[in-house]
């Protein structure tokens, strides 16, 4: 029987500029002051449950227009800084050296990099020339779970090796000041920047990845994603996402668990990507939990906003810091596709 990969360490990082939601609202009033629909949409900011987010640029940067080339240059510099900071934390917490890393899996959907971020990180940190690379683009908010599952698969395929999993998303960088569409206002109210990661190996201590899975709904390509505009990336959100979670998610989750001889009652902790307050509430209903039960997801949303794929790793870090005992945890996230990603962790 193959040994299960274990999470040797978890780490997160945010860029240096905090964005307080009240300050963002005032900035939006100034920038969108001429939009008639703004007052109707402003409650979106207060209904998110977000108090603070972080940005790789100061809030004054958003006062001026910025093109693709400038935004992507900032993405490359800031993303690499965050990935290095995350990696150093991971190695320190696991008691490993950078030369112990055998493979790097990097997830990001908020910028373009060729050579990819993993290659840039290998060069900056002086990792071994034989390190295997797997860059993953386009998973959006599901990338934290699906990317971690891909890293776990690499660990299973190469027993004893150390796999570095990283995710970085700079969503706030793509705010578009001339777009008065509701989807842009919602994105402005929700998104923040952040990075996270994990070290995995079949040798060592930590929660074990014992099951992974995905479900992509047919005919759902327009539910979530990016649309490429002349001045950046424009968010696509369907207003039906909370409804889809409420009506479809529980069945899909139950089918995933059943494939691994599990039921919902076998799960002690739920580690969810908090896409927004309404989505968290819909997930609580889907899991059969009371309102407010997903306190970790709500807390991360409050303190960091929606950092796309990185967010669920922040929730995982918070859950692992909780001293209360647990046996099994279910990680889940939803992203463009429209796809649900699942991981079961075993702490025994």
- Position 121 scores a pLDDT of 98
The CATH number that domain 6-201 falls under is 3.40.47.10
Length of the chain: 348
In this structure, what token pair is assigned to residue 338? 């429209």
| Structure confidence by residue, pLDDT tens digits, 258-291 | 999 999 999 999 999 988 888 888 888 888 888 8
The CATH number that domain 208-346 falls under is 3.40.47.10
* 113: pLDDT strictly greater than 80: yes
Is 56 assigned a catalytic role?
no
| Mean pLDDT, residues 209-237 | 78
Q: Where in the chain is the domain with CATH 3.40.47.10?
A: 6-201, 208-346
In this structure, what token pair is assigned to residue 153? 């698969």
In this structure, what token pair is assigned to residue 297? 């997801």
In the chain, count of helices (H) and strands (E)? Answer: 12, 13
E strand segments, 21-126:
52-55, 101-107
In this structure, what token pair is assigned to residue 273? 């990507």
| Mean pLDDT, residues 60-64 | 88
**Contact (Cβ atoms closer than 8 angstroms) between residue 213 and residue 264:** no
Q: Which residue has the higher pLDDT, 171 or 121?
A: 121
List the single range of 102-116, 224-238, 318-332 with lowest mean pLDDT: 224-238
Phi, psi at residue 98, to the nearest 5°?
Answer: -60, -25
- Position 269 scores a pLDDT of 94
| Structure confidence by residue, pLDDT tens digits, 127-158 | 999 999 999 999 999 999 999 999 999 999 99
The listed range with the strongest mean pLDDT (43-47, 274-278, 344-348) is 344-348
| Structure confidence by residue, pLDDT tens digits, 162-218 | 999 999 999 988 877 666 677 677 778 889 999 999 999 999 999 999 999 999 988
Distance CA 80, CA 303 (A): 23
* 232: pLDDT strictly greater than 70: no
* 79: pLDDT strictly greater than 90: yes
* 112: pLDDT strictly greater than 80: yes
| Mean pLDDT, residues 283-311 | 91
In this structure, what token pair is assigned to residue 93? 């917490």
Mean pLDDT for all residues in the chain? 90
Q: Is 204 left (phi over 0), alpha (psi -120 to 50) or beta?
A: left
């Amino acid at each position: 029987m193959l040994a299960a990969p274990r999470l040797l360490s978890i780490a997160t990082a945010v860029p240096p500029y905090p964005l307080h939601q009240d300050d963002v609202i005032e900035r939006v009033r100034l920038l969108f002051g001429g939009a008639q629909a703004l007052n109707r949409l402003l409650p979106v900011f207060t209904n998110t449950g977000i108090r603070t987010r972080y940005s790789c640029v100061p809030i004054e940067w958003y006062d001026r227009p910025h093109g693709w080339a400038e935004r992507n240059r900032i993405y490359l510099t800031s993303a690499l800084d965050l990935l290095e900071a995350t990696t150093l934390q991971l190695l320190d917490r696991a008691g490993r050296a950078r030369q112990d890393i055998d493979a790097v899996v990097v997830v990001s959907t908020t910028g373009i990099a060729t050579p990819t971020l993993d290659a840039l990180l290998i060069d900056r940190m002086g990792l071994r020339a034989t390190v295997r690379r797997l860059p993953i683009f386009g998973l959006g908010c599901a990338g934290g779970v699906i990317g971690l599952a891909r890293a776990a698969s690499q660990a299973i395929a190469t027993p004893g090796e150390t796999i570095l999993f990283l995710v970085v998303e700079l969503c706030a960088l793509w705010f578009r000041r001339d777009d008065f569409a509701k989807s842009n206002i919602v994105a402005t109210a929700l998104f923040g920047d952040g990075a996270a990661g994990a070290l995995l190996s079949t040798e060592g201590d930590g929660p074990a990845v014992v099951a992974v899975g995905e479900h992509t709904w047919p005919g759902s390509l327009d539910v979530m994603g990016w649309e490429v505009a002349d001045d950046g990336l424009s968010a696509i959100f369907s207003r039906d996402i909370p409804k889809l979670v409420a009506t479809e998610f529980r069945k899909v989750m139950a089918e995933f668990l059943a494939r691994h001889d599990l039921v919902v009652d076998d799960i002690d902790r739920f580690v969810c990507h908090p896409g927004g307050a309404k989505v968290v509430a819909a997930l609580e209903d889907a899991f059969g939990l009371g309102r407010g039960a997903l306190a970790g997801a709500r807390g991360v949303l409050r303190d960091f906003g929606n950092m796309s794929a990185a967010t669920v790793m922040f929730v995982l870090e918070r859950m692992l810091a909780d001293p209360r005992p647990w046996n099994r945890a279910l990680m889940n996230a939803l992203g463009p596709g429209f796809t649900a990603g699942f991981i079961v962790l075993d702490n025994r």
